[in-house]
Structures are given as C-alpha cells and as structure tokens.
Amino acid sequence: MDEVETMTSLTAVSESPPVPSAWREWLEEHGPKLLLFARQQARSHEDAKDIFQDALVKLVEKVRSGEFVGGQAAWQPYLYTTIRRLAIDLSRSVDRRKRREDNVAADAEDTQYDSFHPWFEGDSSDDETRSQLEDRLKDLPAKFSEVIIMKVWGEQTFAEIGEALGISQNTAASRYRYGLEALKKSLSNARRRGDLSI
C-alpha cells in the first residue's frame, strides 16, 4: 500500500460522504508531512497513525459544524497543534496506566513499543545510516527535534511553527538553530568514536 492509500485509509469514516477531491488533494500533499510529525511526537508508529487520524477527524468536525476559523490555509497549523496536544494526552494516559499496572504487578516488564518507520527514504541511504540519523534526532530534546521536523519535513515557516507550538517566531528559529548544532555535534562525536558509518 503506498503513502497516498495509507493517508486515505486513515481518514476513512464509514458514515461520511465521499471525500471531495479538493480535500483528497490537500491530504495527499500535506498528509505525509503531518504523519511524520505525528511519528516524532508518538512512541510508536501505530500511535502516530491513531493520533494523526484523530486530529483529522477533529478538523473535519470543526469544518462541518462551521466552528473552524481561518479557512483551508489554517488547516495545517491547526493539525500540527492538535497532533502535538493529542500526543501529549496519549503519552500522559499511557504513563498513568503504566504506573497503575506497575503497582499491581511490580515484576512486569516495561512496555515495548513498535519501532519507527524510516524518516530518510531513498536508494542512496542504507538502513543503518537511516537508523543512526533517526536515533540521533530522537536523542535531541523534544523542543528542538519537533521544530527541526516541522521545518525540514513539514516545510513550515518559523511563524507557523511558533503558532503551532505556542512560542514566538524567534524562539522557534532559535530552537531550530540550537537543535541543528546539537545534532551536528552528536553526529561528529559518533563519527569520531566510530559509531557512525557516514
């Protein structure tokens, strides 16, 4: 199943009318970027798909009810914000449930999460290189990695990132710059130790 079919299946609602072509085109263009952002926010690929779908449903409900303000141009910033909030809520919910389970069964093993799908795709990159780059990006503090993801893969401006994350445009730009510096330093250190094959 290709990425477009995946996006369409994520948004399928059995009782809803057929998806208009304008919505489908918008989703084909922006869906992969938003799903990638959800992957960065979530602990597993499956959680990311659920979060992404929930955010899309919330957007559709707001648009249909006439509550949504800003038109189509505001969909993407709204979805970035909603994905982030849903990921935080899911994470808190999972953490609370885990604490309850740990209290009941102290010797239970930690929950294992599915691995992320590659962010770096293409024939020129091997699996090991992709994995190493993804790991280095995931090791960054979330405030830096989420801005890098939104800027590089989401193609958002610093103003849009700031609005989605509830920070100023300058703070978004600073986090991007500091995040790239930290990523570069991490990659340099790994290369010196021989942990990095690129």
DSSP string, 120-168: S-STTS-HHHHHHHHHHHHHS-HHHHHHHIIIIIS---HHHHHHHHTS-
Any domain includes 10: no
More confident residue, 81 or 19: 81
Residue 55 has pLDDT above 90, yes or no: yes
Any domain includes 163: yes
Which tokens is 165 given?
């994350």
Considering the domain architecture, whether residues 91 and 152 belong to the same structural domain is answered as no
Average pLDDT rounded to a whole number, residues 34-50: 89
Considering the domain architecture, whether residues 34 and 99 belong to the same structural domain is answered as yes
Any domain includes 67: yes
Any domain includes 119: no
The total domain count for the chain is 2
Provide the residue range defining the domain that includes 56: 19-105
Considering the domain architecture, whether residues 141 and 95 belong to the same structural domain is answered as no
Q: Enter the pTM of the model.
A: 0.48
Give the model confidence (pLDDT) of 105-153 as tens digits.
654 444 343 344 445 555 444 566 667 777 788 888 889 988 988 888 8
